[in-house]
Structure 1
Amino acid sequence: MTMEKTPPSSAVRLDQYAALDIKGADAEKFLQGQTSAQVGLANGSFAPLTCFCTPKGRMLANGQLCRLEMNHYRLILDASLANDLAKHLNKFAAFYKAELSVAQNIIFAGASESAENLAYCLGVTLPKQPYTHATSTSGTVLRLPGSPRWLFMFEEEPQNLLTDSEALLNAWKLSDIRSGLAWLTAAQQDQFLPQMLNWEALGGISFKKGCYTGQEVVARAHFRGQVKKRLVHARAHTASLPELGATLMDESGKSLGEVVSSATSDDQHIELLAVMNTKVMEDGVTVYWQTTPLTLQALPYPIERLDPEQIAAQLAQN
């Protein structure tokens, strides 16, 4: 295998991501009190999904947490949130031996077919299981939940390996949508409980850990069944993409939900993820974006609790 075999158009640059580094002797203890993950599960291989919340349980950010080395964690999240989250968390980090900083000059890329070759460039074995990662001095590769694809984080620009193809970028976003995976952006901060993005169904919430900011509200919503809005996948016959936050309505114009991400499916269709009232799905109401009706699609996972502890145990057996 040689680097020259990598098709230059098969790995797409992904500037929508950022990396927030948390370092220090108290890094794990500090994170444990702030995030929904059981931080101790991040063992250098397993990278749990996680989120950070307000005291009222509303999401400030979600992402995936890697432990790169002892006392060094890296949170992968939407780039629009990284600086604000670091500023927010630094108010609490001051009481711990922990420092936060947005990693500079990290190059993010996504790949599927060419993933083996890119892993070779990093000097690591490509992780085969979802939620796992491998790290070297050249960077990190993370296998995301859902369809087989990998997120790469290079410490230096890989020469002639990445493309800025709009088609491949759209395909990456479409894979997120079909995986039922929504990444919070700055425009959506402080709006959703984690369950509204199906985060507990993706293993992004530990209900077995101790307290963290927002934990009481998140747990109450789960155990009392108080989640009235959920993430849904839908398809529409149109060539236009709705804006982030676009309103979904019934035929009378009543608001039913809002778009959190969208991508082109083919020349005549789009697909999207939206947070929508669960009663709509139960009653079979036709949902519209503008005048275009939506067809709800099945998600690739059941809407039920998936404990990260369970995922970690299954990975340990493989």
Structure 2
Amino acid sequence: MNNSPSFAVPLADLSVLRASGADAAAFLHGQLTQDITGLPPGQARLAGYCTPKGRLLGTLVICRDPAQPEDFVALVKADIAQALAKRLSMFILRAKAKLTVEPIAVWGVQLAAGQQAASLPFAPPVDDAPFSVAQTDQGTWIAAPRAEAGPRRWWLLDGQNPPTEDHDASRLAAWQAADIAAGLPWIQAATQDVFIPQTLNLDLIEGVNFTKGCYPGQEVVARSHYRGTIKRRMAYGIAQPGGPADSLAGSDIFDAARPESPSGRVVNAASGDGETHLLLEVHLADLGTAEYRLGSIQGPHIGIQPLPYHIDSVEAG
């Protein structure tokens, strides 16, 4: 990915939720795993929305709207956006808040390492610190986390005309693979109500605030954290040969040494260049020793790759 050229691609798999109203911050603060009332302008954060049993119904990248600081905008997977807005709205009650799915186009903009944006017909902001937020007359920009690729930004084109780029499917796959390499998990319809935040490493990438107070599932999440009982974590793997990734989320993976039952699940997947990039929820104790296979014991071998943050001693496979 380091040598790939700069590109922009529409991210049709992402939608934008908006929370508006005088009580929007307080309402979200009581629903999400993140400290929303303390979220400063110019910064985005990863957050989770859980069931009372602590299982994730969604992951969000959320920030204050630079153009309307009382409002919040959040990126979520498109296939859960409407359901998420509907469920959250059930708990608004008398709060002065409103949840909507906005008709805002989301694009991904990736710059090659060391390359400026001169090759693109628009000018992303210079600051590329992960999760920094900037507003230009072309829209809202959120710096995406990355592993080794050049600067990456989500681009929210609120009322703006999108660029006339060639919508190459390989660019979307490259963007999604870069999310996976960065260890950024996205809950989608196939994986709702399956994982707790720690098994997707949200506590390792500042997606959970353990001092903010109550939210749905907070007791379960906090108990796992303070008792040190996290036995499953999320890892990054690459399967060869590659295959269609659209239906892999939620699929089982197997350990060839223990074929009798699945040893984990696929969280996210992206295919390209003959490889399938995967985020996997697995037993932490198995990392470095298991021979993972995708889909079945006869499926493609999955080689474990390092994440850009520490989870345990993980050897590349």
Q: Into which bin does the TM-score normalised by the smaller protein fall?
A: 0.7 to 0.9
Identify if the C-alpha distance between structure 1 residues 159 and 92 changes in structure 2 by more than 3 Å, giving closer, same or farther: closer
CA contact (8 A) 2:43 2:63 kept: yes
Alpha-carbon displacement from aligned partner over 1:234-276 (angstroms, at most 9, x marks no partner): 1222132452222111222421011122223533x32211111
The answer for the alignment partner of 1:4 in structure 2 is none
Q: 2-side partners of 1:230 and 1:72: how far apart?
A: 33
CA contact (8 A) 2:125 2:141 kept: no
The answer for the alignment partner of 2:196 in structure 1 is 193
Aligned residue for 1:168, secondary structure, equals: helix
Identify if the C-alpha distance between structure 1 residues 205 and 171 changes in structure 2 by more than 3 Å, giving closer, same or farther: same
The TM-score, its normalising length taken from structure 2, stands at 0.85
Higher helix share: 1
Identify if the C-alpha distance between structure 1 residues 224 and 24 changes in structure 2 by more than 3 Å, giving closer, same or farther: same
Q: 2-side partners of 1:23 and 1:127: how far apart?
A: 27
The TM-score, its normalising length taken from structure 1, stands at 0.85
Alpha-carbon displacement from aligned partner over 1:185-241 (angstroms, at most 9, x marks no partner): 011111100111111111100112111111111111111122222111112221324
Identify if the C-alpha distance between structure 1 residues 117 and 47 changes in structure 2 by more than 3 Å, giving closer, same or farther: farther
Alpha-carbon displacement from aligned partner over 1:38-75 (angstroms, at most 9, x marks no partner): 11332221111111111111111111111013320111
The answer for the alignment partner of 1:314 in structure 2 is none
Aligned residue for 2:135, secondary structure, equals: strand
Identity of aligned residues (%): 32
The answer for the alignment partner of 1:288 in structure 2 is 293
Q: 2-side partners of 1:119 and 1:18: how far apart?
A: 24
Q: 1-side partners of 2:240 and 2:121: how far apart?
A: 41
CA contact (8 A) 2:6 2:111 kept: no
The residue correspondences of 1:1-318 to structure 2 (distance < 5 A) are 10-68=7-65, 69-104=68-103, 106-113=104-111, 116=117, 121=122, 125-136=125-136, 138-147=138-147, 148-241=151-244, 243-251=248-256, 252-267=259-274, 269-281=275-287, 284-289=289-294, 290=296, 291=298, 292-303=300-311
Taking only aligned residues, the RMSD between alpha carbons, in angstroms, comes to 2.3
Equivalent residue letter for 1:142? I
Q: 2-side partners of 1:156 and 1:53: how far apart?
A: 32
Q: 2-side partners of 1:137 and 1:151: how far apart?
A: 15
Long gaps (5+) in structure 2? 313-317
Larger mean Cα displacement after TM superposition, 55-64 or 160-169: 160-169
Long gaps (5+) in structure 1? 1-7, 305-318
CA contact (8 A) 1:127 1:142 kept: no
Q: 2-side partners of 1:212 and 1:137: how far apart?
A: 36
Q: 1-side partners of 2:270 and 2:29: how far apart?
A: 35
Identify if the C-alpha distance between structure 1 residues 160 and 197 changes in structure 2 by more than 3 Å, giving closer, same or farther: same
Aligned residue for 1:129, secondary structure, equals: coil
Shift of 1:117: 6.1
Q: 2-side partners of 1:14 and 1:182: how far apart?
A: 16
Q: 1-side partners of 2:42 and 2:165: how far apart?
A: 25
Equivalent residue letter for 1:139? G
Equivalent residue letter for 1:271? H
